[in-house]
Amino acid sequence: MTDNHNNANVLLIPKIENGIVIDHIPSGYGVKILEIAHRHEELSTIIISLGMNYLSKRLGRKDLLKFQIKELPPSFLQHLSLICPGVTIKRIENFAVEKKIVLDVPELVDKVLKCPNPSCITNFEKSINTCFHLLEREPLTYGCNYCERHFSRAELEAALP
């Protein structure tokens, strides 16, 4: 990163040599994301640190998480993008931000959620993994690939395992 604006932002983040930082987490969501991380086996031995209530121009207060890992598992990113879209994911190499993306809502969510429709086949046949596709962004709506019902984000969140 060469431009000054970005360098100024990096100074707010506790330094790590290599890893992934999830930044711009709305205040209070850091703990929630940590909980999600605990459900993903691939992260069970990874060193994670949580910072809370940092000052942010954009959000007022923000949380951030540091992971001592090269790449976050795709299933975790999918899960995260559903719960907390808009966060910034930064890859740190040699103390510098090497890559930065803003997490968008997922187009597809597979295996992570339970279908809220009790008569959906995915709730009977354990061998069938759930899959939902994005239908609309405002308000955020997903469709089940099996029973074809539509669900809001709140309904899907309530059905998180």
Residue 67 in contact with Zn ion, rule: CB under 5 A: no
Q: How far is the CB of 74 from Zn ion (least distance, A)?
A: 22
For residue 80, what are the contacts with CB-CB under 8 A and spacing of at least 6? 22, 33, 36, 72, 87, 103
Using CA atoms in the order 3, 22, 79, 36, what is the torsion angle rounded to 10 degrees?
Answer: 180
- φ and ψ at 10, to 5 degrees? -60, -30
| Piece of 11-19, 72-80, 90-98, 147-155 that binds Zn ion (CB under 5 A) | 147-155
* Count of residues interacting with Zn ion (CB under 5 A): 6
| Piece of 37-45, 64-72, 73-81, 144-152 that binds Zn ion (CB under 5 A) | 144-152
CB-wise, 64 or 131, nearer to Zn ion? 131
For Zn ion, which residue of 91, 144, 151, 156 counts as binding (CB under 5 A)? 144
For residue 132, what are the contacts with CB-CB under 8 A and spacing of at least 6? 108, 109, 110, 113, 115, 142, 143, 144, 145, 151, 156
Residue 112 in contact with Zn ion, rule: CB under 5 A: no
Residue 128 in contact with Zn ion, rule: CB under 5 A: no
Note the residues at the interface with Zn ion (CB under 5 A). 115, 117, 120, 144, 146-147
